[in-house]
């Protein structure tokens, strides 16, 4: 029996049979993102603490009972998920916390959290018999789709802004995707990709319209719960661009609670770059209307003018009793350096934005010191060397003898 009861529109609440609708609510159009409503009574019978304790699949597929696939033939060997959760004790000065937890999702095959979504998206495409996929992306969703599609023999068409970091574009090309560098913003790349998908009949991976992608992202929360020995954190901090990641994180924690794996929810805190912050502005005005401003941030993965999944993002924050905070580009670069130098975890700008958020929360007096706080590092620093170099400083250039080395050492 299918685990999916229905698809429910987050805007108008109308419900659909999954066989009826592929992407968004036919009544609301592009804003009517659907939520996959699962049969938890059925899932609960299988997905228990005991089941997980005995499970030797160290990937996101250990949560397969909660992932809405009708068959498993599209599951690839490439390992997404089961990334480390570190207990960090070296940053109490910066965070005001005795210790906190770092979920290092840069440790996925293409080096970002997006791999969780792509693993499920590709498996879904297989199930539907759709072997040409597309996406628009600030970079990571695309490189991730490219990698997973390559492993599955699926053809891909990718639309990224021409300003996407070189490493991410290189990933697309080496995985063999057909790449369109769009002379415009991410928002324009999205429009173009959706039009092309319509015209050429491609299966669209964009998390902003495809309801199944979030079902992969939610597994990061399952892992956090399991790695904390089935205790919920008090606060989970997530960088927000389109809002799919934070929506997935919240759905994962809610499900862990519903399934009896944990006995309370964490607060979900969203972090945006201060000049790319439509979700924070909407949260502060207590509205679900997002006001467009040209986004400006070094954190390309969250450089978003119109949040495509803003409703789910705001729901995550409101329903969990959390809040939004903003950080500046300078704070992001500082956070990148501190994190690398005190933990050995090297994140890209958006990847360390949640950690920058924790430093900010401490400065604003929002942390108590003994709370269990988790920061999700969502992407690797090697994806954007130019930004990292701004934070890293310069190396010493020397002649190949000891004279200059001595001078520098003794200085
Ligand atoms: C995509 C991405 C985010 C933000 O996720 P959204 O779903 O767009 O909110 C954060 N960090 C990294 C590294 C990403 O690639
Ligand atoms: Zn609707």
Distance CA 310, CA 69 (A): 25
**Mean per-residue pLDDT for 392-411?**
93
* Banded model confidence at residue 186, pLDDT cuts 50, 70, 90: confident
Q: Which residue is listed with tokens 């999916």?
A: 4
- Nearest residue to 213 via CA among 140, 302, 292, 264: 140
pLDDT per residue over 307-360, tens digit each? 999 999 999 999 999 999 999 999 999 999 999 999 999 999 999 999 999 999
Nearest ligand, CA 355: 1
pLDDT, position 2:
87
Question: Is the CB of 108 inside a 6 Å radius of any atom of ligand 1?
Answer: no
**Mean per-residue pLDDT for 138-147?**
93
**Contact indicator for 236, 249 with CB cutoff of 8 Å:** yes
**Mean per-residue pLDDT for 28-52?**
96
CA–centroid distance, residue 52 to ligand 1 (Å): 28
For 400, other C-beta atoms within 10 Å of its C-beta total 6
Provide the token pair at 153: 């023999």
Pocket test for ligand 1, best of 239, 271, 307, 311 (most atoms within 8 A of CB): 239
Pocket test for ligand 1, best of 111, 140, 221, 356 (most atoms within 8 A of CB): 140
Read off φ and ψ for residue 402, nearest 5 degrees.
Answer: -80, -15
**Contact indicator for 298, 350 with CB cutoff of 8 Å:** no
**Contact indicator for 108, 81 with CB cutoff of 8 Å:** yes
Question: Is the CB of 251 inside a 6 Å radius of any atom of ligand 1?
Answer: no
CA–centroid distance, residue 14 to ligand 2 (Å): 6
Burial status of residue 158 (CB atoms within 10 A of its CB: 0-12, 13-18, 19 or more): buried
Distance CA 323, CA 140 (A): 25
Pocket test for ligand 1, best of 109, 302, 307, 311 (most atoms within 8 A of CB): 302
Q: Please tell me what DSSP assigns to residue 352.
A: G
> Does pLDDT of 1 surpass 80?
no
**Mean per-residue pLDDT for 72-85?**
96
Distance CA 195, CA 187 (A): 13
Who wins on pLDDT, 208 or 160? 160
Question: Is the CB of 145 inside a 6 Å radius of any atom of ligand 1?
Answer: no
pLDDT, position 290:
96
3 state DSSP class of 118: helix
Read off φ and ψ for residue 239, nearest 5 degrees.
Answer: -75, 145
The rounded Cα 332 to chain-centroid distance in angstroms is 17
Q: Average model confidence (pLDDT) for the chain?
A: 96
> Does pLDDT of 202 surpass 90?
yes
**Mean per-residue pLDDT for 60-71?**
96
CA–centroid distance, residue 162 to ligand 1 (Å): 18
CA–centroid distance, residue 5 to ligand 1 (Å): 28
Distance CA 98, CA 179 (A): 46
* Ligand 1 atom nearest 243 alpha carbon: 9
**Mean per-residue pLDDT for 4-30?**
95
* 75-79 contacts, C-beta under 8 A, 24 or more apart: 75/119, 75/123, 76/119, 76/122, 76/123, 76/148, 76/151, 76/152, 77/151, 78/109, 78/115, 78/119, 78/147, 78/148, 78/151, 79/108, 79/109
* Banded model confidence at residue 388, pLDDT cuts 50, 70, 90: very high
Provide the token pair at 208: 């902003």
What residue ranges do the domains of the chain occupy? Answer: 1-38, 85-109+213-392
3 state DSSP class of 255: helix
Distance CA 372, CA 231 (A): 10
- Nearest residue to 23 via CA among 144, 137, 156, 135: 135
The CA-atom distances, in angstroms, between 106 and each of 58, 103, 401 are 16, 9, 38
**Contact indicator for 225, 66 with CB cutoff of 8 Å:** no
**Mean per-residue pLDDT for 171-176?**
96
CA–centroid distance, residue 166 to ligand 2 (Å): 38
**Contact indicator for 138, 186 with CB cutoff of 8 Å:** yes
- Nearest residue to 123 via CA among 94, 154, 87, 92: 154
pLDDT per residue over 214-252, tens digit each? 999 999 999 999 999 999 999 999 999 999 999 999 999
* Ligand 1 atom nearest 379 alpha carbon: 13
CA–centroid distance, residue 364 to ligand 1 (Å): 24
Read off φ and ψ for residue 238, nearest 5 degrees.
Answer: -135, 135
CA–centroid distance, residue 244 to ligand 2 (Å): 18
Pocket test for ligand 1, best of 354, 378, 387 (most atoms within 8 A of CB): 378
SS (H, E, C) 327-343: ECHHHHHHHHHHHHHHH
Question: Is the CB of 350 inside a 6 Å radius of any atom of ligand 1?
Answer: yes
Task: Look up the CATH number of domain 85-109+213-392.
Answer: 3.40.50.1100
Read off φ and ψ for residue 106, nearest 5 degrees.
Answer: -70, -10
* Banded model confidence at residue 207, pLDDT cuts 50, 70, 90: confident
Question: Is the CB of 380 inside a 6 Å radius of any atom of ligand 1?
Answer: no
3 state DSSP class of 374: strand
């Amino acid at each position: 029996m299918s685990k999916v009861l229905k698809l429910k529109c987050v805007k108008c609440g109308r419900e659909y049979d999954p066989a009826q609708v592929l992407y968004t609510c036919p009544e609301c159009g592009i804003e009517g993102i659907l939520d996959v409503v699962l049969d938890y009574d059925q899932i609960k019978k299988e997905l228990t603490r005991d089941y997980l304790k005995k499970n030797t699949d160290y990937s996101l597929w250990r949560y397969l009972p909660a992932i809405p696939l009708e068959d498993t033939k599209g599951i690839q060997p490439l390992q997404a998920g089961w990334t480390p959760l570190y207990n960090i004790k070296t940053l109490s000065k910066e965070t005001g916390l005795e210790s906190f937890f770092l979920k290092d999702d840069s440790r996925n095959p293409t080096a970002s959290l997006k791999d969780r979504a792509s693993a499920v998206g590709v498996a879904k495409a297989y199930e539907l018999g759709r072997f040409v996929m597309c996406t628009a992306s600030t970079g990571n969703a695309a490189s991730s789709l490219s990698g997973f599609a390559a492993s599955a023999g699926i053809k891909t068409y990718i639309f990224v802004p021409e300003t996407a970091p070189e490493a991410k574009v290189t990933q697309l090309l080496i995985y063999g995707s057909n790449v369109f560098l769009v002379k415009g913003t991410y928002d324009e790349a999205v429009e173009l990709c959706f039009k092309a998908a319509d015209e050429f009949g491609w299966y669209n991976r964009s998390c902003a319209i495809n309801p199944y992608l979030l079902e992969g992202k939610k597994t990061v929360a399952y892992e956090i719960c399991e790695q904390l020995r089935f205790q919920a954190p008090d606060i989970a901090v997530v960088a927000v661009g389109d809002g799919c990641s934070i929506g997935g994180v919240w759905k994962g924690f809610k499900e862990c609670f519903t399934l009896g794996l944990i006995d309370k929810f964490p607060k979900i805190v969203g972090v945006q770059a201060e000049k790319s912050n439509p979700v924070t502005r909407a949260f502060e005005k207590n509205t679900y209307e997002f006001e467009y401003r040209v986004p400006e941030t070094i954190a390309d993965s969250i450089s978003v003018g119109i949040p495509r999944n803003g409703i789910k993002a705001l729901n995550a924050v409101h329903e969990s009793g959390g809040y939004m905070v903003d950080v500046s580009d300078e704070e992001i670069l500082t956070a990148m350096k501190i994190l690398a130098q005190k933990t050995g975890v090297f994140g890209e700008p958006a990847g360390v934005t949640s950690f920058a958020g924790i430093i900010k929360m401490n400065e604003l007096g929002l942390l108590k010191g003994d709370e269990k706080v988790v920061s999700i590092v969502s992407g690797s620093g090697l994806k954007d060397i130019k930004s990292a170099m701004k934070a890293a400083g310069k190396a010493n250039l020397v002649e190949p003898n000891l004279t200059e080395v001595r001078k520098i050492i003794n200085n």
